[in-house]
Amino acid sequence: MSPPSSDADDRELLARYAQGDALAMDQLVDRYAGTVYAFVLHTLGEPSLAEDLTQEVWLKVLRHAGSFEGRSRFSTWLFRVARNVCLDHLRKRKRRSASREEGDPFALDEVVDEAAPAPAERAAHRELAEEVRAAVAELSDDQREVFLLREQGDLTFREIADALEVPRDTVKSRMRYALGHIRRFLRQRLPQTESL
C-alpha cells in the first residue's frame, strides 16, 4: 500500500501523464485502484462486473486526463467518473431488461474487522456485517450513494457534494438520514446494539 498522497501530488502526476509520462498514471492507479474497485463493487455488488467497470473507469481517466481542470481534488473527479460509469451501466442494464438481477446490488464487503480473535466473536462480526449490508440495501439511492462515498470512498462532505453536484448540506442531510436508518435497522434486528 502506498503512502497517502496530497492533492498536489495527484495533480502533478495527472499533468505529467497528460504530457506523456505513462509511469505517472501507474502511480495514480496504484494509489486509487483498490478504493475505486471497492466503490464500484459496493455500488453494484458483483465482483467480476466491478473488475470490468473499474477498468472502464481507468480507461475514461486515461482518455480524459487532459480535461481535468483542477476545480476539485483529483479524487473527487475520479469518484465522479466512477459514479458515472456505474450509473451508465445501471441505465444500460435497466434498458436491456425490466427484470432485476438476483443478488444484492449494493453490498458492503467489509464493515467490521473480520480478524476477530475468537470464533464466536468472528461470527458476531459476520452477523453484524450482514445486517449492515441489509440496512444499506434499504437506503434510498441518494442516501446509499452518499454513505458509500463517505465510508468506502473516504471522501469529505465537500468532495461528495462536488462529485454529486449537490449542496454540501444536502450531502450531510442524506448521510444523517442514512446513519439514522442503519441505527434503527440494527436496533430492531440486533437488540444488543441498543448503544448505537
Between 97 and 65, name the one with better pLDDT. Answer: 65
99 and 116 co-located in one domain: no
- Is pLDDT above 90 for 145? no
Which residue, of 68, 88, 105, is where some domain finishes? 105
CA–CA separation, 152 and 149 (whole Å): 6
Q: Does 115 lie in the same domain as 93? A: no
Q: Which of 79-93, 98-112, 121-135 has the lowest mean pLDDT?
A: 98-112
> Within the chain, where are the H helices?
7-18, 22-44, 47-64, 74-96, 119-137, 141-151, 157-164, 168-189
Q: Give the number of C-alpha atoms closer than 13 A to the C-alpha of residue 131, restricted to the C-beta side.
A: 20
Same domain, 94 and 27: yes
CATH assignment of the domain containing 37: 1.10.1740.10
Say if residue 6's pLDDT is above 50: yes
Maximum Cα interatomic distance, the chain, rounded to a whole number of Å: 57
Residue 179 belongs to domain spanning: 107-196
Stretch among 32-41, 110-119, 170-179 having the lowest mean pLDDT: 110-119
Give 55 or 88, the one with higher predicted confidence.
55
Query: How many domains are there within the chain?
Result: 2
CATH number of domain containing 141: 1.10.10.10
Whole-number Å distance between alpha carbons of 83 and 68: 16
In a shared domain, residues 99 and 138 = no
> Alpha carbon 185 to chain centroid distance?
21
Pair (77, 174) in one structural domain: no
Residues 117 and 88 in one domain: no
Q: Per residue in 47-74, pLDDT tens? A: 888 999 999 999 888 888 878 887 888 8
Say if residue 28 is in the same domain as residue 90. Answer: yes
Same domain, 88 and 125: no
Above 60 in pLDDT, residue 22? yes
